[in-house]
Structure 1
């Protein structure tokens, strides 16, 4: 009887241990936001090569998304990359097309490339962006938020309530928030909307107006001064 009891106990411990090991080995996603101020003369050639990089990278097994944003009146572009693990990211970095893009980057960007590594937030996991036709006039927003050290938790709570509602709003294609891996008080929101009109409607919804109130006193500066309205130029 005792022997059966101990066998059962050992089996249970093995199951628990296996579960804990699996949880410990759970892979973290990798996110990068890259700001690239391009030279006017190198813009077209860099864009053509980057689009090849994007097309091929999206086919990689570990790729979640790969998007390039820009503006009509600027030669600065923003690249947002997501991979499902560090291993997948490293494999991508070794690819021929990624290396080709990096090869011309110093000349095209005047050596002013700025890369931010981003972490997902446990309370607000990132979701996949909905696909739309390339010719649609999507509205894409990147906003930088910096909280005071003692208001970080309140900020995450406020954003969590608003983001869950925004994701269900008409015309929303994606709404994710990330934390700067090197600055726990800095957050980056990436919103994607079907067109400017649905984005304006979103800004007037009750949850957006409430978010504005909830953020009062939590930030070191007004986020409207650290906000970019962009278009998708991946294709």
Structure 2
């Protein structure tokens, strides 16, 4: 996928997603998650692709290696630009996911980029310790998952902006750092705890940002998107 801001299409129905997309001219990078995909199936992917948009299919697969591999083989045929798994599924699961993508990608088409979720941006450090039973800091957990994903052959990870710089130091510039939880200054945090502005994300080393309600709930979505895009692009100058 290109490095334009990725808009999270967190809508229950394809008609709502399509109506929203018509408010912003041009081809966009968008994220389709569980809510939209699981309630509507592959047809929603086809509809949004036909409108000229690039898709990050955010299903966060986490299952036994064979199941994930076969699922990825099917998803590879949908023509999306990026898919993901949970790094907590382990090395074998991630390796099988990559094998499935490569096997399922039609000849002549680039396989989708494969990234792994480290820790969700809704997860706080104390919650990680108490509920997941992981000792140490949140950053240590994220870095351990990032290194495992890279060793498994994946293209990058999903992480918060607050770990992007450390992941860049550990895994290099070309390893993708896809960061959700992006807000314009003054926007609410909603249910995400580890958030940042587009400028902060770029400076921290994010390669892609995912932006949801800051754009989708804005009075003028096109204006909000253009401001996010401006901050994101100007911060590399």
Measured against the shorter chain, the TM-score band is: under 0.3
**TM-score under structure 2 length normalisation:** 0.28
The structure, 1 or 2, with the larger RCO (C-alpha pairs under 8 Å, 6+ apart) is 1
Higher strand proportion (structure 1 or 2):
1
Please identify the structure whose Cα radius of gyration is greater: 1
**TM-score under structure 1 length normalisation:** 0.28
